[in-house]
Structure 1
């Protein structure tokens, strides 16, 4: 009986000594990514002025488009759909052709900062007035 207990203890200690470092290595490996989508989250601002450097933001919203549409943007699903359709290119958002605006010059600047499908985005555009902005920027900057 004594030999059986001694062999069991020896085998248990040997297994712990051999397999212990292997389990530590498994814990040290990097974890799998938490999600399978690239982040798409933007902070959008609107203000009056010639450029973002001189304009004070009057309104700002957040827009998250992955995995689902969310944020403080009032029309997040529509804005995300338009951005997806443009491939995230804010310059590619098309203007509505059925809007007539005055020639008043009261510049409005819009900005977008964040990430789109994992790539850094920094966008700024100045419109002649609020009407031109609303006609050109679709629902992304309509807040």
Structure 2
């Protein structure tokens, strides 16, 4: 039997070509590296903020939390489990968390801006909403909602 060992370009230290007497070729591959559970799911990790100002770029952030929903609810959010459930119910579409409200709020202009930035199920998220004041924000977000309750 004849064996011919040839190195292949950049993989010289790990790949070899083995020729058998029948003329067929087989690649001698290095031992496969173990890929951990991180490769088994699309990530969901967000930074949620609440601040004063009439647009996200210039608002003064007063509170910020992290929220990770995959593989398990976690982060500095006070209720990560319920926040992740709410987001899952709307498919990660933050705009669907708000509703039209008839709650009485003053007409005081003290804008509050909330933001969500990061990744939801592997897709980039960059969302913000501005409300006239904190009362309008609270009244507009889904009743009992916990995503922006921090």
**TM-score interval, smaller chain:** 0.7 to 0.9
Which whole-Å CA distance do the structure 2 matches of 1:71 and 1:102 have between them?
Answer: 34
Q: Which residue of 2 aligns with 1:75?
A: 79
Q: In the superposition, relative to structure 1, how do residues 139 and 95 fare at CA in structure 2: closer, same or farther (>3 Å)? A: farther
Instruction: Say which structure is richer in helix.
Output: 1
Which whole-Å CA distance do the structure 2 matches of 1:57 and 1:109 have between them?
Answer: 9
Native 8 Å contact 1:134 1:141 kept in 2: no
Instruction: Please report the TM-score for the alignment, with normalisation by the length of structure 2.
Output: 0.73
Residue 132 of structure 1 deviates from its aligned partner by 1.6
Worse-matched range after superposition: 124-133 or 107-116: 124-133
Q: Which residue of 2 aligns with 1:101?
A: 105
2:38 matches 1:44: no
Residue 32 of structure 1 deviates from its aligned partner by 4.2
Which whole-Å CA distance do the structure 2 matches of 1:30 and 1:98 have between them?
Answer: 58
Which whole-Å CA distance do the structure 1 matches of 2:76 and 2:100 have between them?
Answer: 24
Count of aligned positions? 128
Q: Which residue of 2 aligns with 1:57?
A: 61
Residue 47 of structure 1 deviates from its aligned partner by 0.5
Q: Which residue of 2 aligns with 1:3?
A: none
Q: Which residue of 2 aligns with 1:7?
A: none
Residue 36 of structure 1 deviates from its aligned partner by 1.4
Q: Which residue of 1 aligns with 2:146?
A: 139
Which whole-Å CA distance do the structure 2 matches of 1:99 and 1:74 have between them?
Answer: 25
Residue 46 of structure 1 deviates from its aligned partner by 0.6
Residue 55 of structure 1 deviates from its aligned partner by 1.1
User: Which of the pair has more CA radius of gyration?
Assistant: 1
Instruction: Please report the TM-score for the alignment, with normalisation by the length of structure 1.
Output: 0.76
Structure 1, unaligned runs of 5 or more:
1-10
Native 8 Å contact 1:113 1:121 kept in 2: yes
Q: Which residue of 1 aligns with 2:90?
A: 86
Structure 2, unaligned runs of 5 or more:
7-14, 17-26
